[in-house]
Structure 1
């Protein structure tokens, strides 16, 4: 599996902080950007970066009246930009259409026993994700990295000049690395996807 790029760059952080990093600092910042990007991707269950993926899914039966098709596959990565090819049980099909995240297959024989007990496997090559990455996602990654830079010892609170500052690190003292705040998680919720779990056939 290809390594996904970070959701923000060293140059983005340098611009935001109005500072220049040494080569050693750049390496540290890049590692933190990678960590923060992984944290955001784990929370959203999305790659986010524009990419083309080939994956295989289990077709689920559709309501012929509601959907007017034989089967449905829900593509997990958002947004779906384009669907290139669709193959059902090894046979290429063009008898489908897209409705948001759903791939609707107009017709397909579910077979006779024992094949009827096996749901068709649908292999889809599709393009998904954002290009460019939404600015609010980039901002969250930069904020998360900056918190680590200004608080490398991961102190929860300190008093400077009579002013108390509280950080995101739990009172247990456990070092958790790059974290997301509750506000950032709230912003990211709209980007969350269903993940890549297998779709089960519904009984009729």
Structure 2
């Protein structure tokens, strides 16, 4: 599986902060953006970046009256932009249609071997994700990265020479680092995958 890029570029991060990074700061910023992007992706269970993926899934039986097809698979990465190809047990099929993030397959001989002993395996090559990345997601990635750049020690406040400085740490005293606050999680919940299909194999 290809390594996904950061959800925010260093250039956009610097522009948002109104700063010019030194070479050392650019390296730090890139590492923090990578970490924050990974945390966001792990929380929403989505790649987010628009990419093409080939995954194999176990077909599930469908209600022939409700869905009017022999079987279905649910594509876990969203939004589904395009489906390039579908194959069943290694054989390409064109007898399918898309319904949102579902792929409905017209028919399959479930009652004959090997399907009688093991559900068919459906391989789908599809493009998914956003281009560009939604603004609320990039804002959260930058917030998470900036927390560490501003306050790498996790100090909430300190007094130096009679001057008090307060850092961007929640009132609870929780040092989030590049982790997500509850407020950020609530914002990301609209993108979060809470139920999905078992992924068998990546190519």
Q: TM-score, normalised by structure 1?
A: 0.88
Residue 91 (structure 1) shift? 1.3
Residue 153 (structure 1) shift? 0.3
Check 1:91–1:183 CA distance in 2 against 1; reply closer, same or farther (3 A cut). same
1:7-86 equivalences in 2 (<5 Å)? 7-86=7-86
Check 1:86–1:79 CA distance in 2 against 1; reply closer, same or farther (3 A cut). same
- 1: distance between equivalents of 2:88 and 2:191? 29
Query: Can you give the 5+ residue segments of structure 2 that lack an aligned partner in the other structure?
Result: none
Counterpart of 1:149? 149
Correspondence 1:108 to 2:108? yes
Q: TM-score, normalised by structure 2?
A: 0.88
Check 1:9–1:113 CA distance in 2 against 1; reply closer, same or farther (3 A cut). closer
Q: Deviations over 1:93-129 (max 9, x none)?
A: 1111101110001111113256412100000000101
Counterpart of 1:167? 169
Correspondence 1:193 to 2:200? no
Residue 151 (structure 1) shift? 1.1
- 2: distance between equivalents of 1:102 and 1:40? 24
Q: Deviations over 1:16-74 (max 9, x none)?
A: 11110000000000000000000000001111111111110000000111111110100
- 2: distance between equivalents of 1:199 and 1:84? 18
- 2: distance between equivalents of 1:168 and 1:59? 46
Check 1:199–1:8 CA distance in 2 against 1; reply closer, same or farther (3 A cut). closer
Counterpart of 1:129? 129
